[in-house]
Every structure is written in C-alpha cells, then in structure tokens.
Amino acid sequence: MADTLLIDLFKEVGSIVFQVAKQEINLLVGVDEEVQKLQGKLGMIKAMLDDADERHAVKQRTEKLWLEKLQNQYYEMDDILDTWNTARIRAEIEKEEGKPADTNAPVVVRKKVCSFVPSPSCCFNLPLRHDVGHMIRKLNEKLDMIVKDKATYGIDFNRQPDVVERPTTTSFVDVSNIIGRDIYRDELLRNLLSVGSLEERNSYCVISLVGMGGIGKTTLAQLAYNHSDVQAYFSKRMWVCVSDPFDQCKVAKAIIKEVDSKHEHLDDTELQTLLSKIHGLIKDEKFFLVLDDVWIEDSQKWEPFKFALKNGVHGSRILVTTRKQKVAEIMESAPTINLEVLSKEDCWLIFSKIAFSNEEQLKFLEDLGRKLAIKCKGLPLAAKALGSLMQNKRSREQWNKILDSSLWELEDIEKGLLAPLFLSYYELPLTMRRCFSYCSVFAKDYFFHRDKLVLHWMAQGYIESKTNMEMEVIAEEYLEKLAMHSFFQDFKRDEDSDGQIIGCKMHDIVHDFAQLMTKNETFETDGDKEIDCQSALHLHLKISKEMQFLESIYRAKNLRTLFLLSGERDYEFEMLLLNSFHHFKCLRTLILDCPIKKLPDAVKNLIHLRCLRMSKNVKIEELPETFCNLCNLQTLNIENDHYFKKLPQETRKLINLRHLIFHDDYYSGKVVFPKGIGKLIGLRTLSTFNISDKDDREGCKLGELKNLNQLRGNLIINGMQNVVHVDETQNAQLEDKKHLRGLVLTFDTVDYLLRKENDVKVLNALEPPPNLQCLKIRGYAGNTIYPNWMMSWTTLKKLQLICCENLEHLPFLGRLPFLEVLAIVLLYNVKKVGDEFLGIEDSKNKKDYDIVFPNLKSLEFFRLVNWEEWIGMGGTGEEEEENDNGIVKNPIIIKIMPRLQSLKISLCHKLKSLPNYLLTAPSLKKLEIHDSQLVEERYQRGTRKNWHEISHISNIRLGGVYVQRDGEP
C-alpha cells in the first residue's frame, strides 16, 4: 500500500515538475515574441499618456491616480526593454572581443535550448532570458489590473478636453496703476511718433514687444495706445486681441470693426473681401494698429495682411505684443523691444499698493512684505497676484507661512499668476514640454549651459532621433525654441557662432511653474525626515552625517536622475554610493558633487545609465573596469581633471559613448588614454585626446583617430611629440573629420633640439579637417612652419602659435583669406618680422596679393623677448610691364590688414617701433603696449614726436594705463 502511494506521489510530482519545466521552456522560447509585443504596448501607452497631456483633460483625482499607475508601468516596461537591448549589445561586444557570449551558462545547456528556438538572440544570457520572461509576465498581469481599474472607476479620456482660457484684452487701462515702465514707454513712444528709416518698403513699420507671460507687454501697449501724443498723431487707432489660433477672418473682421463700427454684418464674408475692405478703409489714414497677444508662427497667415495694410499714410504703425521672438521675425519687426523684469523697488511698490489698505498695516508687515516682493523677481503679474492674495491676511504668522512656501504650492496663486504660463506651456509640442519640465530638476537661478542641458535631455530619452539629423542638433533647436517662447532669460551668446546660445537662466516664477508640472516626480531631501518619494523620477540628495531616513528614499525604484551633493569633507561616501547603486538601478543620469575618492565596482548595476557627470569636488582618480559594462552610456563628463588620472583599460566597450568631456586643458593632458579609443566611432565630442609615449605599446596612438569621423566642436591632441612616423600622422585621417571646428596640437616642451626635424615632418604630413576655423599649435620644436596645407587654408578664422621656441621666422600667414584673430606667443628665437609674415617676401609675387590679411581683426604678440625689428614694405611695391615704349615700372598698391581693430603687444622688450602699415590702418580702434619699454617710450603722449603717428586711434593703453579712451585723453 505504501509503495503504491509513493509511486502515485512520484507520478504526481513528476507531472508537476514536467509542467513547470514545460512552462519555463516555453517562457525561454517565447521571450523574443513577448519582447516585440511589449514594444508595441509601450508605444500604445506612450500615446495614451501623450494624448492625456495634449488634451490636458485630467481633473479628477481618480484619473490622476490611474494615470500615475499607468506611467509607472510605462517606466517599468521601458526598463525591461532597455535591459533586453543592453544584453544584446553586450553579446555583440563579447562576440567581437572573442569571448563566449554567456560565460555563466554551461555550453551543453545553451545548445539544447537553442535547438528549440530559431531566434538568433536566444544564445545570449539564458538567466536573463528567464528573468525577462518572468518580468514581462508579471508586468502583463499588472497592466490587466490597471485596465480593469479604468473600467471600474469609469475613467474616460474621450470627453471634450478642458480649454485653457485665453483672456481677452482691451485698450482700457488705469495709467495711475502702472509703475516702473517709464524707460520702455519713452522708447516705444519715440518709435511710434518718429518718421524716418523705419519705413522702407511699406507705408508702415511693425514694432514688437516681446517678453514672458505676465511681464507687462499688454499694459505697456495700453499705456502707449492711450497716450495723448499718440491720440493726436494717428487719425485711426485700432486694438485687436489676436490670441491663438490666428484666425485670419476673425482678425480681419476685428480690424474692420475697429476702423468703422458701422460694419456689423461680416459673418459670411470671405478673407479676400475682408482684406479689400481694410485696404479701402485705411486709405489716406495714418493708422495705429495694436495686435495684442500674437502667437502665429506661420508666415503665410500674415502675408495677406502685409499688402492690405500698405494703403495707409506713410508713418503708420503696427504694435505687436508676443511671447515669441519668432513672431517678431515673421512680422518683420523693426525694432523689437524685449521687456525685462522690474526693479526690486518697483515690484515692492506694485505689491504694497494692492496688499495694504492703510499705513498701520504697512508698518506692521512691511519687512515681510518686502521679502515677498523680492520673491516676485520683478514680474509685475506676480506682484499683483501675490498682493491680492495678502490683502485679507493680517497676522505675521500667515505672512511667514506664505513666505516659506513655493508660489506653485499656493492654490490661490495658480489661476492668476500661472495661467499665462499654462498657455505658453500647452502651446509647446509634447517633446518640448518634457524638456522644459526637466529644468525644474535644477536649482533656482541655475545657469543652464546649453551643451550640458542638451545632454541631460538626451539621457532622459526626451529627444527622438530623426533620419539625417543628430539628436544633439534637435535638442539645441528645442532650447532655441524654448528661449523664443520666453521660458529662459539672461542669455549668454557666442558672438562667433551667429549668436548661438551658450547658456541662460530661468525666471523663478517660470521655475515654480516647471516644479508644478513635475510636483510628483522631482524631490529634494537631506535625509533628515522621512518623505514619500516612491513616485520620484528625479532626486537631489544632500549628504550629511545625520542622514536617518535613507530607506524611505530607496523606495524610489523608478528614479531616473540622481544628484548626490555634499559639503562634508570627512564623510565616507562609498557605502552610500554602493547602496544607491543597488537600489537605483533605473538611473539615466548621475551627477556626483561630493568628495568621493572611489567609485564602487557595483556601478556595473546601472546598466541604463546614459550620463555621468563628476564635478570638481569629486576626488576619483580612475574609474573601475566594471564601469565599462555601461554600454548605454552616452556622456562621460569629467570636471575633476585635477584629480582624474586614467581612463579604464576597456573603455572601448562603451560603444554608445557620444561625448567624452574634460574641462581643464592642463590637467586633462595628463590623463592616460588606453588603447582602443578608436573603436568608439559614435563619439561626437572628444575634448581631449592624449597620445601615449612612443615606448608604450599598450597606450593610445594618433592613428586611433582614424575612424572617429563624427567628432564635432573642438579637439585637443596632446603628446604630438610622441608621433614618430609620418605614416601614423597620415593614418589619423584628420581630413575626414569634416565636423571639427577647433583643433589644438600640443607638443611637449622638452627635448626641443632633438625633435626639430621630426616635428617638422609630422606637421607637414598633417592634413587638417577641411572646415576647421580655429587652430592652436603649442610647443612645436621645428624652426620653420611652412606646411602646404596652412598656406591654402580657406576656412581658418583664428590661429595661435604658442611656445614654439625654435621658430626663427613667422610663416606666410598673410595669405589666409578669412583669418580674423592671430596670436603669437612665447617665440623666443624670432628677432625680425618682415614681409615674409605678410606672404609677399619678394617683389615678383606682390602683384598676386593686392590685399594681405584681408579679414584680420585682432593681432597679439606676447613675450617675444628677442624680437627687435618689425618692418614692412609700407603698403606699396612695383611691377614691370612691357609696352610699345619699352619696360615701364608701375606702382602696386597693396592693402595690409584693412579690417584690423585691435593690436596688443606685451613683454617684447627689444622691439623698437611699429611698421607704417599698422599705424595707418584705418579701422584700428584699440592699441595696447605693455612691458615693452622701447615701443612705449617711442609713442608716449607728449614726450616724443611719434605720438601723432598713433593719436588717431580711439583707445590707447600704454604700460597698463589708458592714455586715450574713446578718442578722449
């Protein structure tokens, strides 16, 4: 009996084991198909989330909670798919390296499973396939529950979406309530009432007021519209609130009614008829048309109005208020007035006028009121909204509570203050909204560097790649568009790159609005109290010894961005990092800003990481080899160059790396680069490239650059003295780096005499990038620089020759047609600068160069300690011509540096004088001579007869002192 029971038991157990085994095998076999299905579901969920955001129809709490659950599942799905793709990438890397794709699984098992599955991916990492299969199964169960919840709670996103109300403006205004806009008012009135160069092609000109929502554009327009001088100057005044969308017929009808109120029946009239009416009505009228709150970006919609409005009298004006710089460009504004914030005092005056009803209240609460006014950061609408909020609050406790709160947390403020920002926000495309909202991750008053912000957006997956268009380019366009929508301010621009934004800031109120948009996603804590950050996607964690509630922080399983900040100098950070790397495995961006000395090996767990930035405070000298498992990494930003010494040996495995960035030219030149960097063919930024010593067989050689043809921006190549063979220089194929714009070639400053000939050969063999604009050569040991490629260069704008100690003569630089900036520094053996510098060293070829240095604007010589003479042919020469009367000598007029604006000479102790062609340069505006005693004495004001030779130059600085500024002594 017992035997029978045991036999039956074994049969049952065997059956269960068989069924389980069958299920597990099916799970392994079907993973590829399930992954594809999951990819499809991910797209559907993204579309649903985007649709809800696009329609901004979510109001009920149940809907918000349901969407949060769906969004959490979206992130889980994204992580699973990223895990799967990462495994594929690793398998390819290991295959290329000649290693087994899955060293953990027995070969015999791998063969058995593969015999069931036709998919080519089945042979990598069987444990992972098993785990992914289980994760997908659990995820599908969760999704089923979420779908059921939607039906249970009757959630419906198909209803008519809520529309953000756009207030209709009028021309009426209480002038007595307008504070702090006198300067802008006067500038606007001057442009409205003056007739001159503003009208060129039309009888009217367009003036645009541009600024963020709530800054007072409409108020300023109302002020001008109602000014007595304006009323007297224009025979017809029209105020039209345009708003969005730009309805051509609606705008045309509004203009007609403003010109003549008798025209009431215009409902069914076509645009052509309406424009014809406008054309006739404004004939012989000097009109003033205000188009308030314009959002149009389609120039074709404005084009018909341009012609219809031409019929007015010369001197007519159109005033446009808009948040978009693009609108001003489309409407061909001349000029554009960009409104800035109010002063602190003006902001206080607006606030106090509304908040206080009597002097007693003012005295009692003025100190807190002034702090609240500062909180408005110069935004008139904020001062008005906050003043209205405080009208009925009389206790200091109430005022302190508001003072300690963020504006976006105050419900009474949202409608009045943030409503204009909602309009701007929902006008953005979805992808741009995410980029804008992400800015809330950074602190207020943070200076956003363009390049860094773009890389953060990319790391978060906000930038969708397009065919033939780089992600970085798309992201930069997003930044420009956000700027043109007035979401940024305090711009710093690159004047050498058509005014491209280098960086900017965000107004505090706009930052508050961005925080509102991410209030359940972005958190900041120092661990001193327990917080519910389970839904956190972005976290600022300030580290201190007193941290007690890390467990609550570790619940943020979907965390995408982690800032680790600390002012502590003696705290052990390694354990905290180790725990973080075990808990925050979904990170896309990691910013380290604490004095950590070592990165734990557990960094390999962060397989989704796209961006790592180590600030100057980080003391890490080298990264662990496990770091090279992060094959999804796009950006490695090393700001702690002064500590960092060595890249990992297997850096070549970071095959998705696009940006390897160092910040300090001097210290980054000492970082050891491993062999194999050349395999990172996706690199767009390689700020520094270090060539290893010629005896180091495992080190990095110049030839590693051969296939890095996607490089952009600037590249510093250190260790050029280690290039022994000319073939290696040619093998780098720099001529294929067509996107590079700046190049620095650094030779070591030792062994000058031994390297003379080799450095000349290396430099001559170099074929530089074809579109290079800036070149710096440093530490070159040759005694001449005459490479053919330099003489025929047509793109170079800036050239620096630094510390080339054996160089005896300057190269023929006058032949470079687009050179704008030239600096010659630390050339100790140069004694004379003559016509060879201009490229016209013999009379026979002078006729070929009627202009020398045609575009040079800035010229500098620094520490040429043995330089004695600077001579030139004075801008003339002769050519021989044979005619019937024999050989005739004709003078040649050669223009030299006709656009030179600035000349600076420092520490050139033996130089005696300047050449005539410089002293007569018509465009020279600035001359500086410092620590060059002989030249200073020659041209000193009032002491020598030579002063008159330079007195026509507007700004002259001798010996560190201005002897003439802006033409005045």
- DSSP per-residue codes, 612-672: EEE-TT----B--GGGGG-TT--EEEE--TTT--B--TTGGG-TT--EEEE--HHHHTTPB
Residue 411, helix vs strand vs coil:
helix
Residue 572, helix vs strand vs coil:
coil
CB neighbour list of residue 608: distance below 8 Å, 6 or more residues apart? 79, 82, 83, 86, 585, 586, 587, 588, 632
Q: Are the C-beta atoms of residues 650 and 675 closer than 8 Å to each other?
A: no
The rounded Cα 185 to chain-centroid distance in angstroms is 33
Kindly compute the dihedral angle of the four CA atoms of residues 607, 613, 616, 620, in this order, to the nearest 10 degrees.
20
- pLDDT at position 410 is 67
- pLDDT at position 657 is 97
Beta strands at 886-893 and 895-896: parallel, antiparallel or unpaired: unpaired
User: Which tokens go with 304?
Assistant: 């018909």
Q: Are the C-beta atoms of residues 491 and 497 closer than 8 Å to each other?
A: no
Residues of the chain under the 70 pLDDT cut: 1-31, 54-60, 99-130, 153-167, 176, 195-202, 263-268, 407-416, 496-498, 527-529, 545-549, 567-573, 841-849, 873-893, 943-945
- pLDDT at position 59 is 59
- pLDDT at position 60 is 67
User: Which tokens go with 251?
Assistant: 């705008």
Rounded distance, CA 308 to CA 238, Å? 15
Other C-beta atoms within 10 Å of 387: how many? 20
- pLDDT at position 446 is 92
- pLDDT at position 28 is 46
The rounded Cα 834 to chain-centroid distance in angstroms is 44
Q: Which CA distances in Å does 249 have to 289, 300, 302?
A: 16, 14, 11
Q: Are the C-beta atoms of residues 590 and 576 closer than 8 Å to each other?
A: no
- End-to-end CA gap in the chain: 122
- pLDDT at position 839 is 80
Q: Are the C-beta atoms of residues 737 and 772 closer than 8 Å to each other?
A: no
Q: Are the C-beta atoms of residues 525 and 539 closer than 8 Å to each other?
A: yes
Q: Are the C-beta atoms of residues 967 and 945 closer than 8 Å to each other?
A: no
Q: pTM of whole model > 0.85? A: no
- pLDDT at position 101 is 44
Other C-beta atoms within 10 Å of 113: how many? 16
User: Which tokens go with 435?
Assistant: 């980029």
Cis amide prior to 898 (ω within 30 degrees): no
Q: Which stretch of DSSP H or E encloses residue 264? A: none
Longest pairwise C-alpha distance within the chain? 140
Q: Residue length, the chain?
A: 969
Kindly compute the dihedral angle of the four CA atoms of residues 373, 378, 380, 383, in this order, to the nearest 10 degrees.
-10
User: Which tokens go with 130?
Assistant: 């098993």
Beta strands at 522-525 and 500-505: parallel, antiparallel or unpaired: unpaired
Rounded distance, CA 296 to CA 305, Å? 13
